Structure 1
């Protein structure tokens, strides 16, 4: 008894020490399980208040997970600045050694832009200033030639979502030894101004904005993907799981997803039959400006080529045009909002009530114009902010039975899409007034006015993300007010 009683406490101490870390790992597993269930159990709520409540619950879980993973994230991200001369020099040498062309330009820092490309000489319009060979790109097809091959071929999430495949591929290359892409990964941003890095308070600045619903859906989707992959890698012992298990955190996954969201481009597949997602080193350092698409893929030389979209003088920053996107698309996918975006638009959802006694006749006429009972319509800050489809929907929505019967029988229902279409004055006024009322109601859902937003944007104490969210909602209000002023003129006629 005496012998046993002396050893028993020592055995208990050993057991306790042995399991010291297990409660933390167990807690992380439980939180990830909860996150997976919460993000997949029900679809994203359509009522924004419920969606926000759901996000608060998700956000609370994510914060706990990030705290549990904090030490791991610190050890993985403690690599210093991406802009050191050594990293930039290594990146430039890597590019040139593998056939990239950027003669007459160099990588530089620009206020408000971080890294970009600087013209070292005058670069005339339409001249080639960047060429990136395919072997330097990270593509979904490239992922299939690595240890990810079986995952990409068998995992349904990776098979169906190429952008997710690219994000996991990026993490594999980040953490494996002697990655070919290390010089590129070293100069990527350590974090991004995308919605994945917004706090709850910063997101709530978007209350009233239709962009908030899109943002919440995106965050929910990424949370679900993270929880899925965390569980997958934790429960497996293949080469990919062994590599990523020690490093895979919510922060790391957000970084990889944001890198892909802000930088991916589409290039032809190896066989040229389809398009594949790709990260294109060097080219993705170019920042956006208004203009035209000046990048294309040269299949003969198997490289991406970019031409100057205008004349650039020596020491100027070299810009490219990212494409005709709305401010909301830039905000969600790129983490910024361009100035004077001529392609910006605001989408308003309109629908025919199921209780409308004339619903069936309205539906018949809508179908003649390839319109749905419920549909989103685009408003823009152009000479005619209302397009033909929206104009036709407004007229059909406000028609009486006799007018519906007339246009159902007409062999020219497409005339309803033209503002010059001869219609009863009362119907026209009713249509304009209906949209006016709807737009004013939409303005009322915002927490602030456009004037208040402009004042707030001049305050220097706001976080970058808060300023970005205010700018987003302000740009939406500008389109609504533009349309309201246009409608006011037509109602008076």
Structure 2
């Protein structure tokens, strides 16, 4: 938030060197903290709603801190030229920084790495995002020289009138919407978050027709594996994901493979990396793999059921014409639903392939 406060300070300063740049920044941003309450609810995705609420609470708390710090200051000592700084202006500054700042190398640390420093780069920040960029940012600095040269360098031949595009990062749609105010259709890095929970897995196994008491009451050796996966113990990390490059987060896949196995010795023949790998086809046998995939498919069905609307409903709403924030919220939730369906289709194909192999082996 330091850069945001500096931005507000320069905006308030008479004759600021940066005023031509600041005056051309957007007056409003299309990120969820500025959505009407109804459109925040329209996102229909609990992890993102949590992040939006968290950022809003931060702004309100920071607003109180700033007001307290500025109380009774003399006009000459006021860092913002006497202008009022509230949650709205702080939100504007935070949005300007999150959507336009780049992280560059700062001071060199003792271990040889550099700390990251957020910087706003006029003109360069006009480049849009692409996962297939035609340009990249290059940072140069001579030894002993504090001045930094930052430039955009073409990575491919660029035709006249083609835009310069940069890769903002391999981010999911949650971060693109939270920080930049847009959603990437068919984002290969998008995912959905689930909480690893024995009761949820029990419900999924029932829906999949797979009975396994080990989800809620794992055997001691299975608990040990869950602890190694950080899904059990004193400070477990229970957030797991579906989608993205992994398709199924390795920790979740390894846990299901182990919990659906009955033979401890067979499981212990494989290391955790093998159990976590989707490319390691059926390390514990075809029946185990099919059961794991069917359980994940059932988890997807449950996750899909948490959305109050279907994709067809969303498409119908978009055709009717809606506000910009409503459109973004609908697009976001549509992408999440499409992602879940894609995961289900992928795993269903794998189940069919494994089942046919199993039938061939038996024949």
TM normalised by structure 2 equals: 0.80
Among 9, 12, 21, which residue is 1:184 paired with? 21
Q: Deviations over 1:203-246 (max 9, x none)?
A: 01012443222222122222221222122212544855363543
CA RMSD of aligned residues (A): 2.7
Matched, 1:391 2:253: yes
Pairing 1:412–2:253 present: no
Q: Distance in 2 between matches of 1:424 and 1:305?
A: 53
Change (3 A) 1:303 1:342: same
1 CA distance for matches of 2:153 and 2:136?
5
Please give the residue correspondences for 1:199-218 in structure 2 after superposition, counting only pairs within 5 Å. 199-218=36-55
Q: Please say which of residues 303-312 and 167-176 is displaced more in the overlay.
A: 303-312
Aligned equivalents of 1:233 and 1:360: distance in 2?
58
Contact 1:202–1:465 at 8 Å: present in 2 too?
yes
> Residues 457 and 311 (structure 1 numbering): CA distance in 2 closer, same or farther, change over 3 Å?
farther
Instruction: Flag the 1:356–1:339 CA change in 2: closer, same or farther, 3 A.
Output: closer
Distance 1:173 1:218 in 2: 23
Answer yes or no: is the 8 Å Cα contact 1:378–1:387 preserved in 2: yes
Equivalent of residue 294 in structure 1, options 136, 144, 147: 136
**Structure 1, residues 429-469: CA drift from partner, whole Å, max 9, x if none?**
33222212221111111111122222323332x11011001
Q: What is the total number of aligned residue pairs between the two structures?
A: 324
Q: Distance in 1 between matches of 2:218 and 2:190?
A: 35
| Counterpart-to-counterpart distance in 1, 2:269 and 2:73 | 65
1:378 matched to which residue of 2? 241
Cα shift at 1:332: 0.6
Question: Which of 229, 239, 251 is 2:66 aligned to?
Answer: 229
Counterpart check, 1:247 vs 2:88: no
Q: Secondary structure at the match of 2:248?
A: coil
Partner SS for 1:266: strand
The answer to whether the aligner puts 1:258 opposite 2:95 as a matched pair is yes
Q: Residues of 2 paired with 1:268 and 1:413: CA distance?
A: 35
Residue 440 of structure 1: aligned partner: 301
Change (3 A) 1:324 1:208: closer
Structure 1 unaligned blocks of 5 or more: 1-163
SS at match of 1:348: strand
TM-aligned CA deviation for residue 348 of structure 1: 2.7
Conservation of the 8 A alpha-carbon contact between 1:290 and 1:341: no
For the structure 1 residues 227 and 409, does the alpha-carbon distance in structure 2 shift closer, same or farther, using more than 3 Å as the test?
same
Q: Which runs of 4+ in 1 moved over 6 A?
A: none
1:323-402 equivalence runs, <5 A? 323-352=169-198, 356-358=216-218, 360-368=220-228, 370-373=229-232, 374-380=237-243, 385-399=247-261, 402=262
